[in-house]
């Protein structure tokens, strides 16, 4: 208790100890390796109150140096000695003249520069990504692969790297792009790594949030995909740098790489005040009373509120609106949202009332602009789900954890620490405040150790994982069993490998489905350029068979329901994406639903567009075409490319779809499409739009803002 930074700081605030004794205590903690982070936190808290330590300025400077917080040594004091300036210069990054490493960043950077493989486990606030930028700036690496968990992170990373290194490297972020030089940085999700055939001769690969390699359940499709990507990258790369949250140990990498360093660090650059209320998950009255108190006391401070789901975020936003403690917001952006969606949508209503909502079903341009509004302090409250915590760059002093769940599952300590890590920001907010309305989850022993399935194979390892990884990475203890399975499997290994994110029993069911089709049904599927009602019915039956889990999340999995066929047909045969949205809004306006129900319908429809149309349908159709081509004896190849393109690219050409990921709305891109531009590469298209930016007469002010933000800023 005597070493608790918050208590010691409280004693200082109440004059129970003097600034000198406070710094003496900080020095004692810094001198003990096991309590170094507590000592560093005391120094950070002291820096947040410089007036209090005016008489101890020299001691505070010495302890800032001892704590390894060299950036603060440069920014928080009016002058430095020759010796201090010498130290600052040693820790200056090659990245920017005014950027200074703290001691842990400097250590990791130097290890990587000396060809070490590093697995770094550290808090969110440590600044792990800046090390990536410094490595790129070193000119040591020609070909780099950076694997990130989400498309949102692809774009954020792309922006940062292109702005700093676009004149030195090609930046590949979309699978329609091909590298033309040997100086290239790939910024991809694991799925895109697995789809590409040009990932070879890699100097360095980076995996962000490496803990996602571990299985959380038997049906962990993305974890399998990430392990397959790791297997691929290990086979073609010289060095790696894996980044993740605080754990004690990682198992499995040593079977892939004999030489690597696992570094677990608690290095902190901001201090955190934790407030725990221990309210029951279903105690909404108690939660909302506490929420009002927190927001009232912290009015005009940047605050993130984490909720378990989009519906929970909507409810919390409605509650805050009724509190009337936030300033109203007016802008061209609000008008754009209302014009393209509706004024009764909860997102529109929230923005109008000075509240931003962020979740995974929102269109990407809206997600990105929402974060901009918050970071520029045009809006003070950001109500979000788990999408905001996977590395998206936010600047907030306060974080309120309203729900201790992600969907229906309890959040683990990794997720909780990631949410907590959004509070405070180096050189902006020395101290972050985290308000946990429910009980703080404790880290179990199991959570402190991460097993990498690729390197820890057992007799229970999923066959689809083993099919997808490189042959040389199949453990000898499971090889005989896997070889026997392959020998007896009705499907060829090439097909198992290509579709390895599907469970084996699902693939076998898919094969049985196709084999049981009548000849005329196969013929219908083969002539699919303009699928009729019967063809769409067959496709939707197949979808329900192989993608029931994804469809169930939007209630489209019911066997006797025609909802999936109706939505499939409507979206496919609409002239454009926006036409589909407009028809939906027109129908909602004339329906008997109340405003809450209408808003929920829009959110669910956007979720279907993003997850089902954009991912589930294309993935299943590729599988269907491959199985059809395997089963049929006809030499003519079945190809669902035209259907896939409409769903995957939101009725846009493939190159324009890449710009949508970069933050230009579909509505804006629809105004730019021409036959000539369809044939351009993504890079050529981007340059054309930049050079002719002022000549597009059909764009409104918001269109221009979106384009400028995505391509010019």
Residues 231, 321, single domain; the answer is: no
Tokens of 530: 């303009």
Asked which of 229, 264, 299 is the last residue of a domain, the reply is: 264
Mean pLDDT throughout 228-254? 92
Residue 290 lies in a domain: yes
Tell me if residue 518 falls in helix, strand or coil.
coil
DSSP letter at 446? Answer: G
Structural domain contains residue 29: yes
Domain end point (choices 619, 648, 677): 648
Same domain for 18 and 111, yes or no, is no
263 phi and psi, to 5 degrees?
Answer: -120, 115
Say how many domains are in the chain. 4
Long-range residue pairs from 703-707, CB within 8 A, at least 24 positions apart, any chain: 703/665, 703/667, 703/668, 703/671, 705/332, 705/333, 706/365, 706/369, 706/663, 706/664, 706/665, 706/668, 707/664, 707/668
Inform me whether the pLDDT recorded for 118 exceeds 60.
Answer: yes
**Residues 658, 686: contact at Cβ < 8 Å?**
no
Q: Are residues 247 and 282 in the same domain?
A: no
Element (H, E) at 88: helix 82-90
pTM for the model stands at: 0.94
CB 214 within 8 A of CB 451: yes
Mark whether 395 and 485 lie in a shared domain: no
Spatial strand order in the sheet of 204-208: 170-172, 184-188, 143-147, 204-208, 240-244, 118-121, 261-264
Nearest to 175 by CA among 187, 160, 157: 187
pLDDT for 667-705, tens place per residue? 999 999 999 999 999 999 999 999 998 899 999 999 999
355 beta partners? 381
Residues 95 and 130: their CA atoms lie apart, in Å, by: 9
Q: Is residue 465 part of a domain?
A: no
Name the residue among 365, 467, 219 with its Cα closest to residue 710: 365
Write the CB contacts of 279 (distance below 8 Å, at least 6 apart in sequence).
286, 287, 290, 437, 438
22, 16 Cβ separation under 8 angstroms: no
Asked whether residue 403 falls in the same domain as residue 317, the answer is yes
User: Is residue 410 located within the same domain as residue 514?
Assistant: no
- Over residues 513-571, the pLDDT tens digits come to 999 999 999 999 998 888 999 999 999 999 999 999 999 999 999 999 999 999 999 99
Give the per-residue pLDDT at 224.
95
Helix (H) or strand (E) holding 242: strand 240-244
- How far is residue 60 from each of residues 14, 436, 535, 567, measured CA to CA in Å? 20, 32, 74, 64
Separation CA 630–CA 636 (nearest Å)? 11
DSSP letter string, 265-300: ----SSEEEEEE----TT-HHHHHHHHHHHHHHTTT
Domain range for residue 207? 103-264
Q: Is residue 658 part of a domain?
A: no
**Interval 52-99: pLDDT, tens:** 999 999 999 999 999 999 999 988 988 888 998 899 899 998 877 778
Residue 84 pLDDT: 87
- Do 336 and 193 lie in one domain? The reply is no
Query: Does residue 671 sit within a domain?
Result: no
pLDDT in tens, 160-169: 999 999 999 9
- Report the CATH number that the domain containing residue 383 is assigned in CATH: 3.40.50.300
**pLDDT-based confidence at residue 219 (cuts at 50, 70, 90):** low
The reply to whether 123 and 239 lie within a common domain is yes
Residue 129 is predicted with a pLDDT of: 82
Is residue 199 within 8 Å of 182, Cβ to Cβ? no
Q: Are 450 and 211 in contact (CB under 8 A)?
A: yes
Q: Give the confidence band of 1 by pLDDT, cuts at 50, 70, 90.
A: very low
Last residue of a domain, one of 648, 668, 692: 648
| Mean predicted confidence (pLDDT) in 195-208 | 96
Comparing 197-211, 438-452, 592-606, 664-678, the range with the smallest average pLDDT is: 438-452
Once rounded to an integer, what is the mean pLDDT over residues 185-198? 96
Lowest-pLDDT range of 231-240, 245-254, 373-382: 245-254
CA distance 307 to 315: 10
Q: Could you tell me if residue 656 is inside a domain?
A: no
Kindly state whether residues 156 and 76 are assigned to the same domain. Answer: no
Pick left, alpha or beta for residue 278 (phi over 0 → left; psi -120 to 50 → alpha; otherwise beta). Answer: left
Angle between helices 617-631 and 641-648 (to 10 degrees): 170
Residue 441 banded pLDDT, cuts 50, 70, 90: confident
Do 523 and 413 share a domain, yes or no?
no
d(CA 499, CA 624): 11
Domain identity same for 566 and 625: yes
- Residue 218 falls inside a structural domain: yes
The values of phi and psi at residue 55, to 5°, are -75, -10
Q: What is the pLDDT of residues 6-24, one digit of tens each?
A: 788 888 888 889 999 999 9
Proportion of the chain in helix, strand, coil states, percent, rounded to 5 = 55, 10, 35
Are the CB atoms for 379 and 357 separated by under 8 Å? no
Average pLDDT score over the chain: 92
d(CA 359, CA 307): 10
Answer yes or no: is 392 within a domain.
Answer: yes
* Phi, psi (degrees; rounded to nearest 5) at 435: -110, 110
Closest by alpha carbon to 70, among 54, 59, 86? 86
Q: What is the greatest pairwise CA distance in the chain? A: 89
Percent of the chain past pLDDT 70, that is, above it, reads: 99
For residues 176-202, give the mean pLDDT. 95
- Answer for the pair 554, 607: CB distance below 8 angstroms, yes or no: yes
Residues 627, 523: one domain?
yes
The H or E element spanning position 382 is strand 381-384
């Amino acid at each position: 208790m005597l070493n608790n930074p918050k208590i010691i700081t409280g004693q200082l605030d109440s004059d129970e100890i003097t600034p000198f004794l406070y710094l003496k205590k900080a020095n004692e903690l810094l001198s003990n390796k096991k309590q170094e982070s507590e000592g560093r936190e005391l120094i950070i808290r002291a820096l947040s109150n410089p007036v209090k330590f005016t008489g101890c300025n020299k001691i505070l400077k010495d302890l800032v140096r001892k704590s390894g917080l060299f950036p603060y040594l440069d920014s928080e004091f009016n002058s430095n000695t020759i010796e201090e300036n010498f130290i600052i210069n040693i820790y200056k990054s090659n990245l920017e003249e005014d950027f200074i490493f703290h001691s842990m960043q400097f250590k990791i950077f130097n290890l990587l520069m000396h060809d070490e493989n590093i697995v770094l486990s550290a808090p969110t606030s440590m600044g792990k990504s800046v090390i990536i930028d410094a490595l790129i700036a070193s000119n040591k690496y020609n070909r780099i692969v950076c694997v990130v968990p989400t498309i949102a992170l692809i774009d954020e990373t792309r922006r940062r790297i292109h702005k700093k290194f676009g004149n030195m490297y090609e930046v590949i972020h979309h699978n329609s792009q091909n590298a033309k030089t040997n100086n290239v940085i790939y910024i991809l999700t694991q799925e895109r790594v697995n789809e590409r055939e040009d990932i070879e001769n890699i100097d360095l690969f980076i995996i962000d949030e490496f803990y996602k390699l571990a299985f959380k359940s038997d049906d962990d499709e993305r974890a399998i995909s990430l392990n397959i990507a790791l297997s691929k990258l290990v086979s073609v790369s010289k060095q790696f740098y894996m980044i993740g949250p605080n754990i004690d140990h990682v198992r499995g990498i040593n079977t892939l790489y004999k030489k690597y360093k696992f570094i677990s660090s608690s290095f902190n650059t901001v201090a955190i005040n934790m407030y725990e209320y221990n309210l029951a998950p279903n105690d909404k009255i108690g939660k909302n009373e506490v929420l009002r108190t927190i927001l009232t006391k912290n009015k005009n401070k940047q605050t993130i509120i984490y909720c378990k789901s989009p519906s929970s975020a909507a409810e919390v936003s409605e509650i805050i609106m009724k509190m009337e403690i936030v300033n109203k917001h007016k802008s061209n952006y609000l008008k754009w949202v209302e014009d393209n969606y509706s004024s009764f949508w909860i997102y529109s209503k929230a923005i109008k009332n000075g509240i931003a909502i962020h979740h995974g079903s929102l269109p990407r341009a809206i997600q990105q602009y929402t974060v901009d509004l918050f970071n520029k302090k045009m809006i003070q409250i950001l109500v979000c789900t788990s999408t905001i915590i996977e590395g998206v760059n936010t600047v907030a002093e306060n974080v309120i954890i309203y729900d201790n769940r992600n969907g229906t599952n309890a959040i683990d300590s990794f997720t909780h620490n990631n949410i907590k890590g959004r509070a405070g920001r180096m050189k902006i907010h020395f101290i972050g405040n985290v308000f946990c309305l429910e009980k703080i989850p404790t880290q179990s022993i199991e959570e402190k150790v991460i097993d990498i399935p690729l390197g820890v194979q057992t007799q229970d390892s999923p066959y689809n994982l083993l099919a997808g990884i490189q042959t040389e990475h199949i453990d000898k203890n499971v090889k005989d069993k896997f070889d026997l399975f392959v020998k007896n499997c009705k499907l060829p290994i090439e097909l198992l490998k290509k579709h390895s994110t599907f469970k084996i029993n699902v693939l076998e069911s898919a094969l049985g489905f196709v084999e049981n089709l009548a000849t005329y049904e196969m013929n219908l599927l083969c002539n699919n350029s303009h699928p009729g009602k019967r063809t769409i019915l067959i496709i939707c039956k197949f979808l329900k068979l192989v993608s029931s889990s994804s469809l169930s999340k939007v209630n489209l999995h019911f066997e006797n329901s025609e909802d999936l066929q109706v939505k499939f047909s409507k979206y496919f045969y609409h002239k454009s994406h926006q036409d589909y949205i407009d028809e939906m809004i027109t129908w909602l306006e004339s329906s008997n639903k109340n405003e809450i129900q209408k808003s929920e319908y829009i959110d669910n429809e956007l979720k279907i567009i993003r997850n089902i149309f954009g991912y589930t349908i294309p993935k299943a159709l590729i599988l269907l075409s491959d199985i059809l081509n395997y089963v049929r004896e006809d030499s003519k190849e079945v190809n669902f490319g035209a259907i896939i393109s409409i769903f995957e690219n939101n009725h846009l050409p493939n190159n324009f779809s890449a710009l949508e990921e970069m933050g230009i709305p579909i509505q804006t891109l629809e105004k730019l499409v021409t036959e000539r531009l369809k044939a351009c590469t993504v890079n050529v298209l981007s340059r054309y739009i930049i050079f002719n930016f002022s000549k597009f007469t059909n764009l409104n002010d918001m269109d221009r803002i979106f384009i400028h933000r995505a391509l010019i800023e």
